[in-house]
Amino acid sequence: MSRAVEESNRAMLRARDAMDRAYAQPLDIPALARIAHVSSAHFIRTYRATFGETPHRYLQRRRVERAMYLLTQTDRDVTDICFAVGFASLGTFSRTFHRIVGESPTAYRRGRAPADVPTCFARAWTRPSSFG
Amino acid sequence: MTMNAISRSQIYVLDQDEALDFYVGKLGMEVNTDADLGFMRWLTVNLPGDPEREILLEKPGPPALDPATAEQVRELLTKGALGGYLFMTTDDARKTYEDLVGKGVEITDEPTERPYGIDFGIRDPFGNKIRIGQMFPRG
């Protein structure tokens, strides 16, 4: 019995790794279920029992996390980022982003300075300007 | 008192022979010590040329752990939720990546250039996470 659980865990983990690795691809449940070698219905049920959320929800969180990264680390526009992380429509992206993060992609970007530059630069260059 | 080296680290594996196939056969590590202590098989590996840093490949089970606890460890390991996390460095991340892909190693993320270097992630056959990085000089 326990060996079966371990095999199932590894199959679910392989599918989760695929979402982490290939989040920008048009991954759907049948494709993920194939990676885990189970039927779609069984996959959704077992994944949720293993990791506490549905595979769909996990993939959305991964895509939103990557979008958060691109919003703060690059100057690509929001539409570009939406498609780059695997969303098929800007409406779905914006709704999902807001539900998970609590603010819109644009507001999120505005509220955060890009990392990886010295703090003195970030403070100087991202301070709201009262002139010009 | 000054400690001066990290000489051994430990990860759990479900099967020590399968672990050797992976860590030696695919990652190219060397067996450092393989000793039957009776109560356990002491199995360590190291990277070639670096025998001072060993990884103990330990199988969870009695008598160290009661059977129920060992089952919990195995379950967490196979969910990828156990702490075992190895970081290794390479001279050429992209070449190492291609080599490991060719050997059928499971990739968790592909080589990415970051401020600190180029790195990618793989998973061992049991669920342990491994990162391999080509680090840029610091400073």
| B20 domain residue, yes or no | yes
Domain total in chain B: 1
Q: Is A50 on the interface with B (CB under 8 A)?
A: yes
Q: Contacts of residue B109 in chain A, CB cutoff 8 Å?
A: 20-21
Q: Indicate yes or no: CB of B79 within 8 angstroms of CB of A13.
A: yes
Q: Is the pLDDT of residue B66 over 80?
A: yes
**Tokens read off for B116:** 């600190």
Measure the CA–CA gap between A52 and A84, rounded to whole angstroms.
Answer: 27
Measure the CA–CA gap between A3 and A82, rounded to whole angstroms.
Answer: 41
Report residue A132's pLDDT band, with 50, 70 and 90 as the boundaries.
Answer: very low
Chain A residue at shortest CA distance from B121: A21
Neighbours of B132 (CB within 10 A): 20
Contact at 8 Å (CB) between A105 and A93? yes
Residue range A71-116, pLDDT digits in tens: 998 999 999 999 999 999 999 999 999 999 999 999 999 887 665 5
Q: Which of A1, A3, A5, A6 to mutate to test the interface with B (most CBs of B within 10 A)?
A: A6
Residue range B19-55, pLDDT digits in tens: 999 999 999 999 999 999 988 999 999 999 999 999 9
Contact at 8 Å (CB) between B88 and B130? yes
Per DSSP, the three-state class of A17 is helix
Q: Is the pLDDT of residue A126 over 60?
A: no
Measure the CA–CA gap between A70 and A76, rounded to whole angstroms.
Answer: 7
Residue range B76-112, pLDDT digits in tens: 999 999 978 899 999 999 999 999 999 999 999 999 9
| B79 domain residue, yes or no | yes
Spans of all domains in chain A: 1-52, 60-127
For residues A45-73, average pLDDT: 94
Q: Contacts of residue A6 in chain B, CB cutoff 8 Å?
A: 14, 74-75, 78
Contact at 8 Å (CB) between B85 and B101? no
For residues A6-10, average pLDDT: 96
Report residue A118's pLDDT band, with 50, 70 and 90 as the boundaries.
Answer: low
Name the residue facing B79 among A20, A21, A50 (closest C-beta): A50
Q: Contacts of residue B71 in chain A, CB cutoff 8 Å?
A: 2
Predicted complex: ipTM over 0.90: no
Report residue B72's pLDDT band, with 50, 70 and 90 as the boundaries.
Answer: very high
In CATH, the number for domain A60-127 is 1.10.10.60
CATH number at residue B115: 3.10.180.10
Report residue A125's pLDDT band, with 50, 70 and 90 as the boundaries.
Answer: low
CA terminus-to-terminus distance, chain A: 70
Q: Contacts of residue A12 in chain B, CB cutoff 8 Å?
A: 79
| B1 domain residue, yes or no | no
| B3 domain residue, yes or no | no
The residue range of the domain holding B112 is 8-135
From A17's Cα to the closest Cα of chain B, the distance in A is 5
pTM for this prediction: 0.85
Q: Indicate yes or no: CB of A2 within 8 angstroms of CB of B79.
A: no
